[in-house]
Structure 1
Amino acid sequence: MFADLSPLIAATAQWLTRSYPSGGSALDSALCEVQARQAVTVAAWLRYPTPMDAALVGVSGTGGSARLDQVVGVDGGAYGMEADCPDADAWRTWVDEVVVSWAACLLADPELADRAVAALADSSHAAGVPADFRRLTAPDDRGRRAAALLRHPDLVAPITEMHRAGLVQRLTPGQPLTA
């Protein structure tokens, strides 16, 4: 079991950056990845707010990326993995559909991102950890250009529409931060 959600966060951020790549230089790719990882971290911490929630998803799994792949029109093998490696797509089993959707919402809507980061102030995940989500909430011009596809509301709309209502509900004042 894990309580830090790192496999889920890594796989989900990888799915986002492969589905909505930067298309630029190595630095642009890195800036895009950092923004995706920060958005996914915030979304995962909101979705699985306690160590018990994180442990439970570690046991039960996330559901994988199959439905997301259908929504964006990609088949799992289209990510450029080696066909002769049977475990090449194993990371996709750790992709969490709700976390992808919530992260895409945060990337496409700066106001929602600010609200989400503020909601984590009392989170058990953020306790004792210096969390800086500046690349998510206030990217500079280069960062915005690097993640232009990932932050474009129209391009990510099929993903954001999947679970946006749940994120908005979670961020509504007075809602408990429980799964």
Structure 2
Amino acid sequence: MQADLSPVIAATARWLTCAYPSYGGALASALCEVQARQAATVAAWLRYPTPMDAALVGVAGPGGSARLDWITGADGADAEDDAWRTWVDEVVASWAACLLGDPELAALAVAALAEGDHTAGTPLEFRRLVAPDDGDRRAAALLRHPDLLAPVARLHRSQLLDRLKPGRALIA
């Protein structure tokens, strides 16, 4: 049984970078991808805080990107390359959008990870998510634009805020 969230994180980060692409060459694209991956990682770890939660999503599947594609108008019609879209998690994408559009919320989310199983004994660094520099912001201008992110962020923002309430244990 798979207790690893890497397929969900990778697919959700890929969806984010496809829906909100970078402009400006290979370096900008890489910086945008790093920010999307950091946001998707934090969101996935918050959404699936225990190894059991991660294993269950590995068995049941995260749901796919169809609704997200419809909301954003993203073209998900590449039939030869659609398999990765089945690993996109709508809630993780929504939470990642919230974090990308609000660095203060991102810092709060990263701090909340200290209570979870994913970070036990591991030093965390999500600098590009919580403290992006000017280069990061330029590279991910669309990915961090609150107005563009709003339709996706709005989907599950209240659940994220509930998860981050002080004193709430990270259990699903």
Same fold (TM over 0.5): yes
After TM superposition, the score normalised by the length of structure 2 is 0.97
Identity level (%): 73
Query: Is 1:105 the counterpart of 2:124 in the alignment?
Result: no
Which among 111, 116, 121 is matched to residue 114 of structure 2? 121
Task: Tell me which residue corresponds to 2:132.
Answer: 139
Could you tell me how far 1:9 is from its partner in structure 2?
0.3
Match of 1:151 among 144, 147, 153: 144
Q: Which of the numbers 139, 145, 164 marks the counterpart of 1:171? A: 164
- In the alignment, the residues of structure 2 paired with residue 131 and residue 38 of structure 1 have an alpha-carbon distance, to the nearest angstrom, of 11
**Distance in 1 separating the partners of 2:126 and 2:4:** 17
Q: CA RMSD, aligned part only? A: 1.0
AA aligned opposite 1:141: D
Q: State how far apart, in whole Å, the 2-side matches of 1:133 and 1:139 are.
A: 9
Instruction: List runs of 5+ in structure 1 lacking aligned partners.
Output: none
Shift >6 Å, 4+ stretches? none
| Contact 2:112/2:164 (<8 A) preserved | yes
Matches within 5 A, 1:15-54: 15-54=15-54
Contact 2:115 2:170 in 1 (8 A): no
Q: 1:6 maps to which residue?
A: 6
Count of residue pairs the alignment pairs up: 172
Q: 2:73 matched to 1:65?
A: no
